[in-house]
Amino acid sequence: MNKTGGERRKERLDRGIKVRSDGIYALLSWRELGYLVLPRFVLIAGLLLLPIVVQSLYWQRVISNVCLYALLALSFDFLAHYVGLVSLGGALFIGTGAYIAALLNKQLGLSIILTIPIASVSGAAICTLLLLPCLPLRGVYFAIVSLMYPLAIKGIIEALNIFGGTDGIMGVDSFPNPWVERYFVITIVLLSLFGLRRLVNLDIGLVFRGVKDNDQAVRASGMSITYYKAVAVFIASTMGCLAGACLTHIYMFSGISLFGLDFSILPIAATVIGGGGTLAGPVIGCFILVPISELLREFGTLRTAFYAIILMAFIVFKSEGLMVYGQRKYHQFERWVKI
Amino acid sequence: MKADNQPMLHVEEATKAFGGILALNRVSFDVHPGEILGIIGPNGSGKTTLVNCITGFVTMTSGKVFFKGKNITGKPAHKIADLGVTRTFQIMRPYFSLPAYKNLVIPLFSPRAKRTGGWRGGGKLGDRNTVGIDILEEIGFERDSFVPYKLASSLPTGYLKRLELARCLALKPEIILCDEVFSGLSMSEIASMVPLIERLQMDGITLIMIEHRLRELFRVAGRVMVLNFGEKLVEGTPEEVMANAKVKEAYFGSEEVEEVMTYA
């Protein structure tokens, strides 16, 4: 940390243990309480104000998109960093949720109030059942298998010409109005984020983390790892299917493009940028990546190249992720001192 | 087999083949309630494989295991642990990213601990954290120090070995299969572990101990079984076993044995 010939150096001091511990002692002073509440408040208030601040309809739609990707990124981060399942099944979750919601709406005429919850829960059940045989797999093997599912389902829909075949299902009901749509997805993202953060620190959350850390020790403790993995996949796929159901109602359409690779890859990229294992990081990552990819639309095919460069730069120069970096800086004082 | 004289664990001709190699060859033995059975043998003699077979972490090629007269052969590992047959790992397997006491919240969340541990594993208060700290204190973590609150990844070997035992104790086990709890410890650490083992026995827990530290093992074990190349050589009291010619041959040249035999 030497600067100008070793006369000064940067000194880093950790903040008091009381605030860093997040514990009950933080209640002792307003200053420490404020220190803890501020980042959370900024995130919540920022998200809630966003649709009001952003004027153009186009960018308002982008906000909804960001939130749906954020749900997927949250579910990826939860599975990968708290359960140890690296899942590329984002497209599976989105597609399943979207098709179920679209079919319920078009075929059975159910209203949007019913289709979204039913599609989330039943879609999650279907995804969990599909992934059940692969749950004993670990690491890259699980990743490969979970990537195959959306491709396989896409192929089946195309080949058998079911569920509207390549045309998809058109004319699905939309949200009553854009404000409901935006605030619904924003609320869901906030609830999922804070809900997951709470979940991973509950006793059952510790079991999930135990499965990631050391699954043999969990078996030796008399618990079935497959059961707990299945529960975790159900939680994650509920979020994914919910995002899918919202997507189909926002675009009033469900088609095989929803089983596309984008939904599996972008959440991972967002997690890398935001910082894996922080849960808030992937959400922030989505708020960076999705708008960038919208801005790059003007460049046509060059878009992918720019996108790749941004990702590579992050992986090389800030591989820990923005959130981890930010947290560290927030917990430290920095000042220059004379040697 | 009379009901009141039923062995805690009855292993019948346990055989395990890894490809063409017989890691275990028709090993049979009984463990009676409340006793400590030591299992010794040179490296690669199949001791850990035996533990893996009994606890369901490895499926046996042939043979049977009975726990309290009930056939548990081929059951999945978590079902066997659920019956109260618990094990420690030779290579310690804590949850490295969690503090020591949170390591115990996971076994306390298991179905067995929820059944046996009062208020769903959380003791009187229903709080698994306090029960975890209680168990750690029992096993030698100083309650008022910061050791129980440290991350498992920063604990030294001695504490990790204790943490392994604590994980078993959280399940209120009937029998613990200890896979080398003394190995890798200093003499003074071992000396403080021995009373712990004796106390577990007094609490009515049956123990199977796999050990290389013969001197300490012989202080606690009532009966010793010797394995060599996957076969059972002899079984008997420590004195009988060490006097046996076959055992001397298997351990030929080992300073430890010379030392122990003069001790015995």
A218 Cβ under 8 Å from any chain B Cβ = yes
Query: Pairing state of beta strands B9-18 and B21-31?
Result: antiparallel
Give the closest-approach CA distance of A42 to chain B in angstroms. 29
- Spell out the long-range contacts of B213-217 with Cβ–Cβ below 8 A and sequence spacing 24 or more: B213/B182, B213/B183, B214/B40, B214/B256, B214/B257, B214/B260, B215/B256, B215/B259, B215/B260, B215/B263, B216/B182, B216/B190, B217/B38, B217/B40, B217/B182
Average pLDDT, chain A: 89
**Interchain contact, B110 vs A220, CB within 8 Å:** no
Residue of chain B nearest A228, judged by CA positions: B110
Query: Does residue B48 lie within any of the structural domains?
Result: yes
Q: Which pLDDT belongs to residue A103?
A: 94
Distance set, CA A137 to CA A51, A82, A232, B24, B83 (Å): 42, 16, 15, 28, 26
CATH number, position B256? 3.40.50.300
Q: Does residue A25 have a pLDDT over 70?
A: no
Q: How confident is the model at residue A2 (pLDDT cuts 50, 70, 90)?
A: very low
What is the side-by-side strand order in the sheet with B231-236?
B85-87, B175-179, B206-210, B36-40, B223-228, B231-236
Query: Taking chain A, what is the end-to-end CA distance rounded to the nearest angstrom?
Result: 11
- Distance (Å, rounded) from C-alpha B202 to C-alpha B206? 9
* Closest partner CB to A217 (pick from B76, B95, B97): B95
Q: Which pLDDT belongs to residue A82?
A: 95
Q: Does residue A1 have a pLDDT over 60?
A: no
A224 Cβ under 8 Å from any chain B Cβ = yes
The answer to whether the beta carbons of residues B219 and B191 sit under 8 Å apart is: no
Boundaries of domain holding B43: 9-90+177-184+210-263
Q: Which pLDDT belongs to residue B248?
A: 78
Q: How many CA atoms lie within 13 A of B158 on its CB side?
A: 15
Please give the share of chain A, as a percent, with pLDDT higher than 90. Answer: 63
Chain B residues closer than 8 Å to A214 by CB: 93-96
Query: Does residue B23 lie within any of the structural domains?
Result: yes
Q: Which pLDDT belongs to residue A329?
A: 86
Q: How confident is the model at residue A5 (pLDDT cuts 50, 70, 90)?
A: low
CATH number, position A154? 1.10.3470
Give the closest-approach CA distance of A222 to chain B in angstroms. 4
**Interchain contact, A209 vs B97, CB within 8 Å:** yes
* Residues forming beta bridges with residue B12, ordered by sequence position: B64
Mean pLDDT per 10-residue section of chain B, whose length is 264 residues: 74 92 92 93 90 94 94 94 94 92 94 86 83 92 88 92 94 94 89 91 94 88 91 90 82 62 54
Query: Does residue B104 lie within any of the structural domains?
Result: no
The radius of gyration of chain A from alpha carbons, rounded to an integer in Å, stands at 22
* Closest partner CB to B106 (pick from A206, A216, A224): A206
**Interchain contact, A214 vs B95, CB within 8 Å:** yes
- Distance (Å, rounded) from C-alpha B167 to C-alpha A19? 31
Residue A32: strand, helix, or coil? helix
- Distance (Å, rounded) from C-alpha A10 to C-alpha A335? 6
Query: Does residue B169 lie within any of the structural domains?
Result: no
Query: Pairing state of beta strands B231-236 and B223-228?
Result: antiparallel
pTM: 0.90
Q: What element of type H or E holds B258?
A: helix B255-263
User: Which of A30-39, A243-252, B109-118 has the lowest average pLDDT?
Assistant: A30-39
A17 Cβ under 8 Å from any chain B Cβ = no
- Spell out the long-range contacts of A20-25 with Cβ–Cβ below 8 A and sequence spacing 24 or more: A20/A331
Alpha helices in chain A (DSSP H): 17-20, 30-53, 57-78, 90-107, 112-131, 139-160, 178-199, 203-213, 215-220, 225-251, 262-274, 280-295, 302-317, 322-330
Residue B188, both tokens = 């003074």
* Closest partner CB to B102 (pick from A204, A206, A223): A206
Q: Which pLDDT belongs to residue A18?
A: 61
Domain count along chain B? 1
**Interchain contact, B81 vs A217, CB within 8 Å:** no
B48-92, pLDDT tens digit by residue?
999 999 999 999 999 999 999 999 999 999 999 999 999 999 988
Query: Does residue B17 lie within any of the structural domains?
Result: yes
Residue A88: strand, helix, or coil? coil
**Interchain contact, B57 vs A216, CB within 8 Å:** yes
Residue A198, both tokens = 């709470």
Query: Does residue B64 lie within any of the structural domains?
Result: yes
- Distance (Å, rounded) from C-alpha A291 to C-alpha B220? 68
Length of chain A as a residue count: 339
Query: Does residue B256 lie within any of the structural domains?
Result: yes
**Interchain contact, B95 vs A216, CB within 8 Å:** no
In the A/B pair of chains, how many CB contacts fall below 8 A?
Answer: 79
Q: Which pLDDT belongs to residue B254?
A: 60
CB burial of residue A296 (10 Å; 0-12, 13-18, 19+): middle
**Interchain contact, B96 vs A214, CB within 8 Å:** yes
ipTM computed for the complex: 0.89
Q: Which pLDDT belongs to residue B2?
A: 47
Residue of chain B nearest A212, judged by CA positions: B95
Q: Which pLDDT belongs to residue A139?
A: 81
Residue B227, both tokens = 């394995």
Boundaries of domain holding A62: 2-338
**Interchain contact, B96 vs A213, CB within 8 Å:** yes
